[in-house]
C-alpha cells in the first residue's frame, strides 16, 4: 500500500459507531450510547480513512461554533501506522476546522509530536477508577430543570455552546443526570453514563467542593458496586482530594492541548471532564 491509495471521507452515524468500537479496543472505554450524542454535536465533523475499501483510520474535528473545535478519535490500525494515514487524517481535520481554536487530549508520550503540529500543552488530565458506593441522597433530575438553565450553566465550563450534544447526552438509556439547585439556579451538575466497562461520571461541574461531593456521592450511588471512572484536571486540588477520599486509583494521564489561544475556563470548578474525545 502507498499513501496515494488512502482516501478520506466523512463518516455517517454507522461509521462513528465503528469508531467507538475501535476506541473501546484501544482501552478508551467509551459510553455505550456515545455515537449518537457525538454525531449530534457536528454531523460533518467525523472522517474515516480507507484503503482499497477497508476502513483503516479515523479522526473527529467537531466544530462547535465559528471559533472553537475539538479533535479526537485519532486512531489508525496498528499494522498500518507507518504509511502516513495519520497525517492525512490530521490534515483533513485541520482543514475542516480552519482558523478555529482547536482543543484535544493527547497521551503524554505523544505530546512532543503534537507540539510540532501546533498543539501546545495547557494542563494535564487524569482518569481515576473506583467502585460506586451506596448512599441515600436525593438531588434534582436535570430533566426537571429548564433546558435553557442547563445551557446557561454549562456555558461557563465549555468554550462554545453545545446544545444539541447536551440534549442527547443527558437523555440516553441508563444515564443519570443530576443537579444541585439554589432556587431555580443550577449550582452544579453531573452525568453518569454506562460505558463498555462500568460507568463514567462526566461531566461534573460545581460551584464549590461541597456541591461536587454531593453530586459525586449521588451519581456514585447510581452505580453502587460497579466500576466508576472520573476524568479530572490535575491542577484542580479539590478534585484530587475528592478522588482520594473515595479511594479512586489513577488509570492514565493525558495532556489537554490547544492550537491557538487556550480558552479561559474555571478549572477549579471542573471536577469531571465531559469527554477526552469531544472536550
232-248 pLDDT, tens digit per residue, is: 999 999 999 999 999 99
Phi, psi of 72 (to 5 degrees): -165, -170
Q: Does domain 127-272 fall into CATH 1.20.1250.20?
A: no
Pairwise CA distance, residues 109 & 172, whole Å: 34
Residue 37 has pLDDT above 90, yes or no: yes
* Residue ranges matching CATH 3.40.630.90 in the chain: 127-272
Stretch(es) of the chain classified as CATH 3.40.630.30: 3-103
Q: Is the CATH number 3.40.630.30 carried by domain 3-103?
A: yes
pLDDT score of 81: 80
47-100: pLDDT as tens digits: 999 988 899 999 999 999 999 999 999 999 888 787 889 889 999 999 999 999
Q: Is the per-residue pLDDT at 142 higher than 60?
A: yes
Q: What is the DSSP string of 99-119?
A: TSEEEEEEEGGGHHHHHHTT-
Amino acid at each position: 500500500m502507498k499513501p496515494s491509495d488512502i482516501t478520506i471521507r466523512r463518516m455517517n452515524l454507522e461509521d462513528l459507531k465503528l469508531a467507538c468500537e475501535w476506541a473501546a479496543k484501544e482501552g478508551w472505554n467509551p459510553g455505550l450510547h456515545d455515537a449518537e450524542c457525538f454525531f449530534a454535536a457536528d454531523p460533518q465533523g467525523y472522517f474515516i480513512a480507507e484503503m482499497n475499501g477497508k476502513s483503516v483510520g479515523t479522526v473527529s474535528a467537531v466544530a462547535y461554533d465559528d471559533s472553537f473545535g475539538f479533535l479526537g478519535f485519532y486512531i489508525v490500525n496498528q499494522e498500518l501506522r507507518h504509511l502516513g494515514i495519520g497525517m492525512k487524517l490530521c490534515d483533513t481535520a485541520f482543514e475542516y476546522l480552519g482558523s478555529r481554536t482547536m482543543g484535544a487530549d493527547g497521551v503524554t508520550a505523544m505530546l512532543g509530536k503534537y507540539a510540532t503540529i501546533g498543539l501546545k500543552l495547557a494542563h494535564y488530565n487524569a482518569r481515576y477508577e473506583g467502585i460506586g458506593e451506596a448512599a441515600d441522597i436525593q438531588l434534582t433530575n436535570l430533566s426537571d430543570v429548564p433546558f435553557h438553565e442547563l445551557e446557561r450553566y454549562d456555558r461557563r465550563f465549555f468554550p462554545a455552546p453545545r446544545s444539541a450534544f447536551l440534549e442527547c447526552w443527558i437523555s440516553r438509556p441508563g444515564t443519570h443526570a443530576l443537579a444541585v439547585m439554589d432556587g431555580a439556579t443550577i449550582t452544579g451538575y453531573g452525568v453518569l453514563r454506562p460505558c463498555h466497562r462500568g460507568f463514567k461520571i462526566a461531566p461534573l461541574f460545581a460551584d464549590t467542593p461541597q456541591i461536587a461531593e454531593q453530586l459525586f456521592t449521588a451519581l456514585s450511588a447510581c452505580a453502587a458496586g460497579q466500576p466508576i471512572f472520573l476524568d479530572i484536571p490535575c491542577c484542580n486540588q479539590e478534585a484530587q482530594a475528592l478522588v482520594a477520599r473515595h479511594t479512586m486509583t489513577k488509570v492514565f494521564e493525558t495532556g489537554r492541548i490547544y492550537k491557538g489561544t487556550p480558552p479561559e475556563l474555571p478549572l477549579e470548578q471542573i471536577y469531571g471532564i465531559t469527554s477526552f474525545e469531544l472536550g
